[in-house]
Amino acid sequence: MLKRTSQSGLILIVLILIASLFVFAGCGGKGVSLKGANIVISSWWSTYNVDTYEARNEGEARDLEMRRNLLSDNGFHFEVVELSSWDDYLPIVASNIMSGNKEYSIYEVAPNMAITLYKQGLLYPIGDSKAVNLKNREAVAYGESGAGPMYNALVEDFMTFGGKQYGWQYGRPNDSWGQAMLFFNSKHLVDVGLSPDYIYDLQKNNNWTWDTFLDLCRKLTRDTNNDGITDIYALPCDDAREVLRGLIYGNGANFVSFDASGKASLATNTPNFVEALQFYNQLINEGLILTNPIYDWGWNWTAFYDQRVAMTFDPEWRKGQAQDQFDGGYVLPPRGPRSATLRMDASDNVYCIPAFYSPAEVDVFLKAAEMWFTPVDTDWLGGHYWASRNLRDVTETVVMSRDPKFLTVRDFFLVPGFPFDDFIAEFRDGLGASNPSRVLESWTPVFQAAVDDFNR
């Protein structure tokens, strides 16, 4: 057949093939046409529309320009909408899916929400789609050949059931800024004769341990006017719940463990776990922690901002508020005696798609979202400099906090109904007078009930 084809015929065939490649490239690749599509991501915390979004820095400006061009060139609409506040979010999401509401293509949810929706049979097995490569682990910048984001292996792992994946996330593990960091004010270090780099150096050399942390807490807790009353404490107590998380996971402990089939087992009865509770009590009993009879959420950060405390355990997202509030930085929680390395809990939000969508619709959503979240460049640290006062916050702390070597999944968050907040509140309100083992013993049946319910 080819021997009978004229030269002009061959040229025509080649031109047709090239044109078809451009058509597919223009509509998202892999034969998925995005033209005319309207994709809306639901969120409880953010909005993003290319017509109204105002970039806060140079990186966001580049992202915005890329996304405007992406939508214009490919002829589809994509935006993020704040559906509701946190408290009402899950019931509204579940109701929307059960009623077949197609206003939202993709839902961003917390990990426990994702598990709840999965158990109710409301999520599509997105791992069946061939429109994107969910196992891609290396980001390629926009404009380069093969451009696309990396996919988060940690989320893939805990959202895979029976060999099928039901949720996903982009980027490196632990990149939702929700993990417990220890923020410190360098002024207080200098006031007690320490270098502003003191804690960074301990972290870098793997000497950031409970022993060095305790020694630092004792130095930072001071009566500055010699009236017999403590004026500056090392820490505020655990109102934001990050202190005990930092200590428990930092000592190699877990609340829950999971086997290969996804079955959960309670893990709070280990020496590692009890030691963390005891160490927290020691900090209180030694007078190193500022306690407060009124636990308004966020008061601990206010105490840090007002310099009543020298350090505070808080979510990483606090650094976005910190740049003009103090001269200092942040590090990972110190490691306990039963852990060889620093260790922190990781919890990334999850993207998921309602089960009622067709495979063709799902392919469009996944491809459009992949293109939307393709990075402008692969300097992933660039998004952290604006929220940091010290270069070491980014080049050392942030790098370590995205390294799987230092991470474990925030396990209790995967078990819907696990009473973590209530447990922390009761333990915290004991203000050092409670017996950690007895508190834990009283809560064990409640923990176990949540785990048993998860395994049903």
Does a structural domain hold residue 412? Answer: yes
Do 327 and 404 share a domain, yes or no?
yes
How many domains are there within the chain?
Answer: 2
Does a structural domain hold residue 396? Answer: yes
Pair of tokens at residue 364: 């469009």
The answer to whether residues 40 and 79 touch, using CB atoms and an 8 Å cutoff, is yes
Query: What pLDDT band is residue 3 in, cutting at 50, 70 and 90?
Result: very low
Q: Give the DSSP per-residue string, 250-273.
A: HTT--SEEE-TT--EEE-TTSHHH
Per-residue pLDDT at 216: 98
Q: Over the stretch 333-361, which tens digit does the pLDDT of each residue have?
A: 999 999 999 999 988 999 999 999 999 99
CATH number for the domain that contains residue 140: 3.40.190.10
Does a structural domain hold residue 12? Answer: no
Domain of 298 in residue numbering reads as: 180-346+389-455
Query: What pLDDT band is residue 239 in, cutting at 50, 70 and 90?
Result: low
Per-residue pLDDT at 385: 87
Do 184 and 161 share a domain, yes or no?
no
Q: Over the stretch 317-333, which tens digit does the pLDDT of each residue have?
A: 888 876 666 789 999 99
Do 194 and 171 share a domain, yes or no?
no
Do 340 and 356 share a domain, yes or no?
no
Do 160 and 222 share a domain, yes or no?
no
Do 123 and 223 share a domain, yes or no?
no
Q: Over the stretch 295-314, which tens digit does the pLDDT of each residue have?
A: 677 788 889 989 999 999 99
Does a structural domain hold residue 267? Answer: yes
Query: What pLDDT band is residue 13 in, cutting at 50, 70 and 90?
Result: very low
Residue partners of 384: CB distance under 8 A and separation at least 6: 393, 394, 398
Do 368 and 406 share a domain, yes or no?
no
Query: What value does the mean pLDDT take over residues 151-168?
Result: 93
Do 200 and 282 share a domain, yes or no?
yes
- What CA–CA distance (Å, rounded) separates 31 from 114? 29
Do 254 and 171 share a domain, yes or no?
no
Per-residue pLDDT at 83: 98
Q: Report the run of H or E that residue 18 belongs to, with start and end.
A: helix 7-26
Do 41 and 155 share a domain, yes or no?
yes
Say whether pLDDT at 24 is over 50.
Answer: no
Does a structural domain hold residue 357? Answer: yes
Do 301 and 424 share a domain, yes or no?
yes
Quick one: what percent of the chain has pLDDT higher than 70? 90
Do 369 and 249 share a domain, yes or no?
no
In 101-248, DSSP assigns E strands to 106-109, 160-161, 164-165, 180-185, 235-236
Per-residue pLDDT at 44: 97
Does a structural domain hold residue 432? Answer: yes
